[in-house]
Amino acid sequence: MALDATTRTETDSLGSMKIPADAYWGIHTARALENFPISRRPISVYADLVVALAMVKQASARANKEIGVLDAGRADLIDRAAQRVIDGEFHDQFVVGVIQGGAGTSTNMNANEVITNIALEIAGREKGDYAYLSPIDHTNRSQSTNDVYPTAVKIGLSLDLKSLLEELDLLRGSFLNKAVEFHDVLKIGRTQLQDAVPMTLGQEFHGFATTLGEDHTRLTENARLLIEVNMGATAIGTGITTHAGYRAAVVRQLREISGLDLESADDLVEATSDTGSFMSFSASLKRNAIKLSKICNDLRLLSSGPQAGLGEINLPAMQAGSSIMPGKVNPVIPEALNQVAFAVAGADLTVTMAAEGGQLQLNAFEPIIAHSIFQSITWMRRGMRTLRINCVDGITANRERLGAMVGSSVGVVTALTPFIGYAAAAALAKTALLTHRSVADLVVEAGLMSRDEVDKQLSPARLSGLEAVTAAIPIVQAAE
């Protein structure tokens, strides 16, 4: 009878299974594929998580070699195989779903099997030749899912955050560019959607840039919580199956490999069960998302119309807005960012509930924590990019409309209250609204200020606060 060359047989404690001959993953991964056909989204969608897993395996191989519990030949094979994954190869072999039971065991075993079979191939041996190099006895030596998985997640998030912060900086820069472009465009500010006092459109966009800069700081601060890892903890934090020197050696190797300032947790039992750092980091992502959503709300309001709305700015027209109304264009890019923010807020709640659901010495729900945060970072990074390129960079100001609104606004009377008093200013504002006349004209006609002084105080620089009033001016008394 002809042999089946398309599969190989692997065996675990539950029995044997046929594995595709060309697959680098093995029986533990195969069982996970059968057990968790839920998300239909493999862990490979988060490339930095895959890289981080390979970094942990590489660091462990080097540490095990250093302390003498793994021979140099096998350690070097694992090291070389892990490096290929770090370099971007074989990511398609990380196939287990992002949602899985077992506290990440399926993910850890997927990494063990793939790296082992790459190493076997490097050695000129067949995939599945685990008698020579074992996914568990060698690639997983001195480790447990319970220290590998959270450590890899922390490293992966730290790597992923770098690209998010880069995109955040670029978006902030786009708003700053618009602040410069609109520095002289006077407009009416609003509080509670009602006319308030004048400002410049440049000041409004500078405020957007400033708030994004603050989020950069908060994200960086909370990312510091991710540098504490529990490698060497193994199952529950007691370090069972590890040897003296491994804990210090593996963290030192991880620092060198990842370029991150990692440190070993003081209490490995606590660190193995605690997920507080993930909650804090997720919360900072939510803060950024919600503030970004508020900015998008403002952009949609400011561009509303174009005829029957505020119509102060124009967003780039990116696609037809209606299948029934010809010529309609919608603010689709800010709308997309709003939805990203809603998803990030929901993901943060998921992280919170998963953290609360941990029991005793382990949190079994770290896979959904990891998926939620990685998805938030991914969607926010992509969302920021499209907002920058397809929206903010192309915004223009409706200067004539803005100028007309400022010229007819009674809000400018606020600038005159130090000179004519609140009561007189309120009365004149009411008259201006009823008669549709200029506040400036009414002040001069009432004899409260001269035309020159009114024009001076209602100059764009003073109305927007760019030029402060540094001294009192003589108050012109009303004629008796």
What predicted TM-score, i.e. pTM, was given to this entire model?
Answer: 0.88
pLDDT of residue 480: 46
Residue for token pair 């030029």: 467
pLDDT of 113 reads 98
Which is it for strands 194-200 and 186-191: parallel, antiparallel or unpaired?
antiparallel
Q: What is the mean pLDDT for each group of 10 consecutive residues in the chain (480 residues)?
A: 74 93 96 92 96 98 97 98 98 96 94 98 96 97 96 97 96 96 91 86 95 94 93 94 95 97 94 94 96 97 89 89 74 96 98 94 94 97 97 95 78 78 84 82 84 76 62 46
pLDDT of residue 175: 97
- List b or e across 336-346, with b for residues whose CB sees 16 or more CB atoms inside 10 angstroms: bbbebbebbbe
pLDDT of res. 476: 45
Question: 175: number of CA atoms within 13 Å, CB side?
Answer: 23
Identify the burial level of 69 via C-beta atoms within 10 angstroms of its C-beta, where 0-12 means exposed, 13-18 middle and 19 or more buried.
middle
pLDDT of residue 467: 62
Cβ-in-10-Å burial (0-12, 13-18, 19+) of 183 comes to middle
In angstroms, the CA 256 to CA 278 distance is: 23
Amino acid at 407: G
Can you tell me the distance from the alpha carbon of 28 to that of 21, in angstroms, rounded to the nearest whole number? 15
Q: Which two tokens stand for residue 319?
A: 């696609």
Helices H, strands E: what count in the chain?
17, 8
Residues 6+ apart with CB under 8 A from 16: 9, 10, 27
**pLDDT for residue 2:** 43
Enter the tokens of residue 372.
């939620």
Report which residue type is found at 264.
Answer: S
* Dist CA 113 CA 105 (whole Å): 12
The pLDDT value given to residue 1: 34
What pLDDT, on a 0 to 100 scale, did the predictor assign at position 470? 47
CB 71 within 8 A of CB 57: no
What pLDDT was estimated at residue 472?
A: 47
Catalytic residues: 322
Taking the mean position of all CA atoms in its chain, how far away is CA 57?
Answer: 27
Whether the Cβ atoms of residue 197 and residue 465 lie closer than 8 Å to each other? no
